[in-house]
């Protein structure tokens, strides 16, 4: 948490997006995380994604639980309302916020301590309920604020800084999200901005529960030899199955790929997702196949990253609940209260 | 012991097997007496079970209109062999036993100081019906027909009730009416003149309605403008959420589009339920959860967050017997302390204490105004007795001029006009700050909500002075709440009274009856009915102007006494606790005995 506001100086040549916002308009307070923390790179990627997507900052609500990752919403989108709730319970708060106003973009930022232990129940239930959100876990396999205990996503055999080995089996949030019905699932690495930004953009354009697990090394407690969440280890074992690019209508394609290796997918907001296949046999629209692929690669010690799964025809909780299109928090007594007339029949039926 | 003779003043108790379909027949019996213009009150006594265990339904007929549980039984309808001995033993001397005599029961199993009314119900039903389920269900209707004849309930009244109950399923009307007549005719031919208990037509019901508290609470939430409900099933609160859903389907579905102006989430647990309520409240929707004691225990951490971060939330707590799983299908008033001071750290929460379904309807609707005005959780503390039983109460009313009080929410226009926004800044002197809703203004009014300490402008701070400033304001805000919550109701005795009684919630009907009986016996006591926490000055005045206060509660530890002592700084010796906590609703007999004993002791002391 910080109370340090950034100075409001602006370079005259700074780039603006279509709404006239600069990158700066999407930033928040100065980060108080450790220098080199992967979480700050993720914050930057979120800021970049919002800038690129021309999102009005105040139309985002950012929610988090407790932990290093949960502090980060303070460091981005300073014009958005934020809610730092209680440990592991952000998903339920986000669910309620989303029910109250379906028109905002809900960004849930969490970590492995917050979402894979105390919050595991809320995480899966929020996903299976189909809440329209972007849920990001900043996954470092370790409890940072309490100085280096293993988290539930730490791999079996991974070494702690103090020298101990983790003997418990790891929880894989990506597999869980797939199993319980997330309609957009990605995994990335905080050291790979090119992969993160379009992935977050695609998730933000997705009209259903979107989950991205981002491995984000903890430079203070989990970046040593023997840790499977260290920068070096993740770089060596990262297997990206695809590359994404968000293509706006009628705009030049930014990256050229060999013919036959790309696929264009129309996104909800009218833009197109260009998918470059890196693993020829990987199909991100096949949920069962994705689950199999993840397990087989994980058994070989590889970390599959990229767009893991997407259901382009997804819907959300509001569709399931058949709610009115106008946000519920905007309805007045005229629309909500049946008045004295409504009581006449009730009273008569109870005599 | 001569058989009891009584007109419009007796207790009928039905002993049944859970899941045998007796509930609707028994309720029809109670309703038929109401239609005769005679007040009744009914109570379900049921186990935590779906099928097979014993269940009882108690109907008190009171021409004088006393609606509390009386205690004792004048007519036992013994339909459950499992509980036979206990049921027979519970009949008052001179009372009546009505039972199914299809199978012989040894003489030693009866009492000679009661009147035995024998009717071969199973035989009659089996002769008339082939289907086993029909045999069971119609047996219930047959005994209702027989009881109608024995007690003098007009058959036409019951026939009309059957017509209303099966409206739309017309094929069921004739067979039910036939079963009713079957029972009626048997009683007429074989049991004439045996029963000294009678219902006589009266005009004591008026336009009152017969309704359960949980139904009323669900409707109150519709009227209060709740759009988001998140809940987890738990007895005895489940029917609040179900009632809300039922009333929403009726009143809140857009007739043109079929779309819902509400959202109901069955959460994975109570923690998630209150989290969703808080998220919705933060984002400007009126939201609530319904739960019972174990759920309140689970919600503690979130309730502290809502208190400290100042987020509106409504919690309807249908209290049951605690601690732990306790007595899940029995009533108590034992969540006072855990709600009043919910969560770790220094907290105080607003409690509303309705006395019956009618007041529960009003308080449920009101709770949303209070929660948004005060930006804090508001508890509506009802209990199983109110929630799961049908009570005779005044019809519900609504003033159409009434508007929701949405509290202090700063709008985009106000922000644009340059109005200072400090999320935790006391601008108006009532210690209630302004809030903004997410998405209001592009560049003004955004803030970070957190459970950690922060300054008046919502910036994180662990400075002692800043923290204390905020905590003191929260205390002042609680002072403001005193003037907004429902005031206590004081009732003066006919003669000047030295002593008083304080009570609240579902104790009301028993207390009303006790008050009248004590007055008649020359024991004059003023009474005060608490309707909310925090306590207003009127409560302190009442205590200060009486020598001794009888404090009637339905819990073991005199929790309300602790609250009064703690919050008002009262000498504990001023209170004499009358505590009823066996899980059954408190009775006038219990209160009268307890007060008479204490008053007796006092006058004895004085005489010595």
- How far apart are alpha carbons B328 and B320 in whole angstroms? 6
Helices B537-544, B559-568: inter-axial angle, 10-degree rounding: 100
CB B561 within 8 A of CB B515: no
Identify whether B103 is part of a domain: yes
User: Are residues B107 and B217 located together in one domain of the fold?
Assistant: no
- Measured between CB atoms, does B379 come within 8 Å of chain A? no
Strand B209-212, strand A272-277: pairing: unpaired
**Residue predicted with more confidence, B458 or B48:** B458
- Measured between CB atoms, does B408 come within 8 Å of chain A? no
Look at residues B473, B500, B517 and tell me which one is the last residue of a structural domain. B473
CB B406 within 8 A of CB B340: no
Residue B448 phi, psi (nearest 5): -105, 120
- Measured between CB atoms, does B543 come within 8 Å of chain A? no
The pLDDT tens digits of the residues spanning B521-549 come to 999 999 999 999 999 999 999 999 999 99
Contacts of B281 in chain A (CB under 8 A): 96, 100
Instruction: Say which of A61, A93, A342 has its CB closest to residue B438.
Output: A61
Look at residues B363, B393, B423 and tell me which one is the last residue of a structural domain. B393
Which residue segment(s) compose the domain that B33 sits in?
6-198
- How far apart are alpha carbons B32 and B149 in whole angstroms? 12
Identify whether B120 is part of a domain: yes
Alpha helix (H) residue ranges in B129-212: 132-151, 155-165, 173-190
User: Does residue B96 have a pLDDT over 60?
Assistant: yes
Does the interface ipTM go beyond 0.90? Answer: yes
User: Does residue B194 have a pLDDT over 80?
Assistant: yes
**Residue length, chain B?**
608
- The secondary element (H helix, E strand) that includes residue B362 is helix B357-374
Contact B404 A333 (CB under 8 A): yes
Interface mutation target, options B218, B283, B434, chain A, most CBs of A under 10 Å: B283
pTM for this entry: 0.96
The distance of Cα B165 from the centroid of its chain, to the nearest Å, equals: 24
Contacts of A121 in chain B (CB under 8 A): 268-269, 272
The pLDDT tens digits of the residues spanning B268-302 come to 999 999 999 999 999 999 999 999 999 999 999 99
In angstroms, the first-to-last Cα distance of chain A is 59
From the CA of B363, how many Å to the nearest CA of chain A? 15
C-alpha pair distances (Å), B584 with each of B29, B45, B321, B517:
22, 8, 10, 21
Identify whether A342 is part of a domain: no
User: Are residues B28 and B111 located together in one domain of the fold?
Assistant: yes
Identify whether A197 is part of a domain: yes
CB A283 within 8 A of CB A275: no
- How far apart are alpha carbons B500 and A238 in whole angstroms? 77
DSSP per residue, B5-21? -EESEEEEEEEEETTSS
CATH number of the CATH domain containing B240: 3.40.50.970
Instruction: Say which of A1, A84, A350 has its CB closest to residue B210.
Output: A350
Identify whether B498 is part of a domain: yes
Identify whether A7 is part of a domain: no
Class of residue A289 by CB neighbours under 10 A (exposed 0-12, middle 13-18, buried 19+): middle
Residue A319 phi, psi (nearest 5): -65, -40
B320: closest CA among B585, B69, B507? B585
The pLDDT tens digits of the residues spanning B297-334 come to 999 999 999 999 999 999 999 999 999 999 999 999 99
Class of residue B574 by CB neighbours under 10 A (exposed 0-12, middle 13-18, buried 19+): middle
- How far apart are alpha carbons B135 and B131 in whole angstroms? 6
Identify whether A1 is part of a domain: no
From the CA of A304, how many Å to the nearest CA of chain B? 31
Interface mutation target, options B167, B168, B227, B441, chain A, most CBs of A under 10 Å: B227
CATH number of the CATH domain containing B513: 3.40.50.920
Identify whether B322 is part of a domain: yes
Helix H, strand E, coil C: the string for A145-165 is CCCCEECCCCCCCCECCCCCE
- How far apart are alpha carbons B217 and B606 in whole angstroms? 48
- Measured between CB atoms, does B228 come within 8 Å of chain A? yes
Class of residue B400 by CB neighbours under 10 A (exposed 0-12, middle 13-18, buried 19+): exposed
Give the per-residue pLDDT at B19. 84
Contacts of A324 in chain B (CB under 8 A): 254, 257, 259-261
The structural domain count of chain A equals 1
Residues 6+ apart with CB under 8 A from B296: B270, B315, B317, B335, B338, B339, B342
Contacts of B269 in chain A (CB under 8 A): 121
Which residue segment(s) compose the domain that A239 sits in?
23-330
- The secondary element (H helix, E strand) that includes residue B367 is helix B357-374
Identify whether A283 is part of a domain: yes
Contact A80 B438 (CB under 8 A): yes
Identify whether A336 is part of a domain: no
**Residue length, chain A?**
351
- How far apart are alpha carbons A219 and A230 in whole angstroms? 8
Contacts of A97 in chain B (CB under 8 A): 279-280, 282-283, 438
- The secondary element (H helix, E strand) that includes residue A200 is helix A193-205
Chain B, 420 to 449: residues with Cβ < 8 Å from chain A are 436-443, 446-449
Residues 6+ apart with CB under 8 A from A333: B225, B402, B403, B404
Identify whether B481 is part of a domain: no
Instruction: Say which of B271, B439, B459 has its CB closest to residue A89.
Output: B271
User: Are residues B461 and B493 located together in one domain of the fold?
Assistant: no
Contact B225 A333 (CB under 8 A): yes
- How far apart are alpha carbons A103 and A100 in whole angstroms? 9
The structural domain count of chain B equals 4
A57: closest CA among A84, A93, A82? A82
The pLDDT tens digits of the residues spanning B156-184 come to 999 999 999 999 999 999 999 999 999 99
- How far apart are alpha carbons B581 and B140 in whole angstroms? 32
Contact B305 A83 (CB under 8 A): no
Helices B270-282, A120-128: inter-axial angle, 10-degree rounding: 70
Would you place residue B608 in the very low, low, confident or very high pLDDT band (cuts 50, 70, 90)? low
CATH number of the CATH domain containing A43: 3.40.50.970
Instruction: Identify the segments of chain A with pLDDT beneath 70.
Output: 1-5, 7-9, 249-260
Average pLDDT estimate for B101-130: 95
CATH number of the CATH domain containing B75: 3.40.920.10
Give the per-residue pLDDT at A259. 57
Q: What residue in B sits closest to A60 (Cα-Cα)?
A: B439
- Measured between CB atoms, does B360 come within 8 Å of chain A? no
Phi-psi region of A24 (alpha: psi -120 to 50; beta: other; left: phi over 0): alpha
Instruction: Say which of B228, B437, B440 has its CB closest to residue A99.
Output: B228
Residue A149 phi, psi (nearest 5): -75, 150
The pLDDT tens digits of the residues spanning B376-403 come to 999 999 999 999 999 999 999 999 999 9
Residues 6+ apart with CB under 8 A from A49: A197, A198, A200, A201, A204
Longest pairwise C-alpha distance within chain A? 78
The pLDDT tens digits of the residues spanning A124-166 come to 999 999 999 999 999 999 998 888 899 999 999 999 988 899 9
User: Are residues B46 and B116 located together in one domain of the fold?
Assistant: yes
- How far apart are alpha carbons B326 and B296 in whole angstroms? 14
Strand A149-150, strand A142-143: pairing: antiparallel
User: Are residues B276 and B157 located together in one domain of the fold?
Assistant: no
- Measured between CB atoms, does B283 come within 8 Å of chain A? yes
Q: What residue in B sits closest to A324 (Cα-Cα)?
A: B259
Q: Within 13 Å of residue B419, how many CA atoms lie on the same side as its CB?
A: 18
Contact B438 A84 (CB under 8 A): no
- How far apart are alpha carbons B405 and B322 in whole angstroms? 35
Instruction: Say which of B35, B260, B446 has its CB closest to residue A81.
Output: B446
C-alpha pair distances (Å), B395 with each of A86, B240, B392:
42, 19, 9
Give the per-residue pLDDT at A245. 87
Identify whether A11 is part of a domain: no
The pLDDT tens digits of the residues spanning B226-262 come to 999 999 999 999 999 999 999 999 999 999 999 999 9
Size of the A and B interface in Cβ pairs below 8 Å = 230
C-alpha pair distances (Å), A114 with each of A68, A200, B308:
9, 20, 21
Identify whether A30 is part of a domain: yes
User: Are residues B171 and B131 located together in one domain of the fold?
Assistant: yes
Look at residues B174, B198, B222 and tell me which one is the last residue of a structural domain. B198
Contacts of B443 in chain A (CB under 8 A): 58, 79
Contact A86 B305 (CB under 8 A): yes
Mean pLDDT (chain B) is 96
User: Are residues B467 and B499 located together in one domain of the fold?
Assistant: no
């Amino acid at each position: 948490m910080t109370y340090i506001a950034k100075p409001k100086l602006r370079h005259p040549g700074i780039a603006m997006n279509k709404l006239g916002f600069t990158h700066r308009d999407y930033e928040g307070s100065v980060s108080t995380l450790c220098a080199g923390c992967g979480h700050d790179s993720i914050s930057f990627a979120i800021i970049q994604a919002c800038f690129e997507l021309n999102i009005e900052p105040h139309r985002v609500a950012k929610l988090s639980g407790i932990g290093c990752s949960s502090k980060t919403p303070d460091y981005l989108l300073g014009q958005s309302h934020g809610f730092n709730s209680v440990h592991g319970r952000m998903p339920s708060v986000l669910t309620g916020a989303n029910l109250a106003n379906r028109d905002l973009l809900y960004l849930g930022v969490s970590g492995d301590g917050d979402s894979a232990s105390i919050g595991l129940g809320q995480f899966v239930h929020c996903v299976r309920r189909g809440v329209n959100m972007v849920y990001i876990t900043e996954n470092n396999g370790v409890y940072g604020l309490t100085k280096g205990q293993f988290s539930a996503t730490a791999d079996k055999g991974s070494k702690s800084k103090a020298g101990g080995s983790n003997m418990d089996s790891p929880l894989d949030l990506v597999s869980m999200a797939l199993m319980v019905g997330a309609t957009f699932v990605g995994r990335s690495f905080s050291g790979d901005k090119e992969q993160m930004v379009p992935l977050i953009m695609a998730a933000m354009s997705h009209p259903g529960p979107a989950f991205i697990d981002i491995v984000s090394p903890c430079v203070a407690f989990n970046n040593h030899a023997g840790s499977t969440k260290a920068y070096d280890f993740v770089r060596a074992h990262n297997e990206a199955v695809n590359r994404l690019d968000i293509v706006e209508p009628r705009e030049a394609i930014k990256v050229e790929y060999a013919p036959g290796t790309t696929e264009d997918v129309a996104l909800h907001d009218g833009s197109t997702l260009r998918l470059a296949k890196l693993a020829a046999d990987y199909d991100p629209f096949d949920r069962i196949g994705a689950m199999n692929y993840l397990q087989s690669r994980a058994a070989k010690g590889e970390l599959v990253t990229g767009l893991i799964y997407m259901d382009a025809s997804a819907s959300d909780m509001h569709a399931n609940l058949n709610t009115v299109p106008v946000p519920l928090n905007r309805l007045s007594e005229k629309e909500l209260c049946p008045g004295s007339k409504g009581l006449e029949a009730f009273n008569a039926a109870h005599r | 012991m001569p058989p009891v003779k009584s007109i419009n003043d007796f207790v009928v108790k039905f002993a049944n097997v859970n899941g045998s379909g007796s509930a609707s027949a028994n309720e029809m019996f109670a309703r038929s007496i109401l239609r005769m213009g005679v007040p009744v009150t009914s109570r379900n006594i049921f186990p935590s079970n779906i099928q097979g265990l014993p269940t009882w339904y108690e109907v008190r007929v009171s021409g004088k209109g006393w609606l509390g549980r009386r205690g004792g039984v004048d007519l036992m309808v013994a339909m459950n062999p499992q509980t036979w001995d206990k049921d027979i033993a519970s009949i008052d001397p001179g009372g009546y036993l009505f039972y199914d005599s299809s199978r012989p029961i040894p003489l030693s199993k009866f009492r000679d100081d009661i009147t035995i009314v024998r009717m071969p119900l199973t035989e009659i039903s089996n002769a008339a019906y082939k289907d086993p389920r029909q045999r069971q269900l119609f047996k219930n209707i047959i005994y209702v027909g027989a009881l109608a004849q024995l007690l003098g309930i007009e058959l036409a009244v019951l026939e009309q009730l059957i017509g209303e109950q099966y409206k739309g399923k017309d094929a069921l009307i004739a067979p039910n009416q036939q079963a009713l007549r079957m029972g009626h005719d048997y009683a007429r031919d074989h049991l004439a003149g045996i029963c000294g208990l009678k219902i006589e037509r009266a005009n004591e019901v008026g336009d009152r309605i017969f309704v359960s508290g949980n139904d009323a609470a669900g409707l109150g939430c519709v009227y209060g403008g709740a759009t988001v409900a998140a809940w987890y099933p738990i007895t005895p609160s489940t029917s609040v959420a179900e009632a809300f859903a039922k009333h929403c389907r009726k009143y809140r579905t857009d007739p043109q589009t079929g779309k819902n102006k509400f959202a109901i989430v069955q959460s994975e647990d109570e923690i998630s339920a209150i989290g969703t309520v808080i998220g919705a409240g933060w984002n400007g929707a009126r939201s609530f959860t319904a739960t019972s004691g174990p759920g309140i225990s689970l919600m503690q951490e979130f309730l502290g967050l809502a208190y400290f971060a100042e987020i509106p939330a409504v919690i309807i707590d249908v209290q049951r017997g605690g601690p732990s799983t306790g007595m899940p299908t029995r009533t108590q008033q034992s969540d006072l302390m855990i709600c009043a001071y919910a969560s770790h750290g220094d907290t105080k929460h607003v409690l509303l204490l309705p006395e019956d379904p009618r007041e529960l309807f009003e308080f449920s609707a009101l709770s949303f105004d209070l929660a948004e005005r005060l930006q804090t959780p508001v508890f509506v503390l009802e209990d199983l007795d109110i929630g799961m039983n049908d009570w005779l109460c005044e019809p519900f009313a609504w003033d159409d001029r009434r508007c929701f009080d949405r509290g202090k929410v700063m709008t985009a226009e106000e922000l644009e006009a340059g109005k200072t926004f400090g999320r935790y800044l006391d601008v108006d002197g009532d210690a209630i700050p302004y809030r903004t809703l997410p998405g209001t203004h592009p560049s003004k009014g955004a803030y970070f909500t957190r459970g950690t300490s922060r300054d008046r402008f919502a910036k994180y701070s662990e400075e002692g002075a800043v923290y204390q400033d905020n905590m003191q304001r929260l205390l002042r805000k609680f002072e403001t709440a005193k003037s907004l919550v429902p005031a206590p109701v004081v009732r003066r005795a006919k003669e000047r009274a030295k002593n008083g009684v304080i009570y609240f919630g579902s104790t009301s009907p028993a207390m009303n009856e006790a008050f009248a009986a004590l007055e008649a016996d020359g024991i004059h006591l003023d009474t005060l009915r608490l309707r909310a926490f925090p306590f207003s000055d009127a409560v302190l005045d009442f205590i200060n102007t009486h020598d001794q206060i009888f404090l009637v509660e339905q819990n073991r530890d005199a929790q309300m006494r602790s609250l009064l002592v703690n919050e008002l700084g009262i000498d504990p010796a001023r209170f004499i606790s009358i505590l009823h906590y066996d899980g059954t609703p408190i009775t006038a007999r219990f209160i009268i005995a307890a007060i008479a004993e204490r008053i007796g002791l006092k006058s004895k002391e004085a005489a010595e």
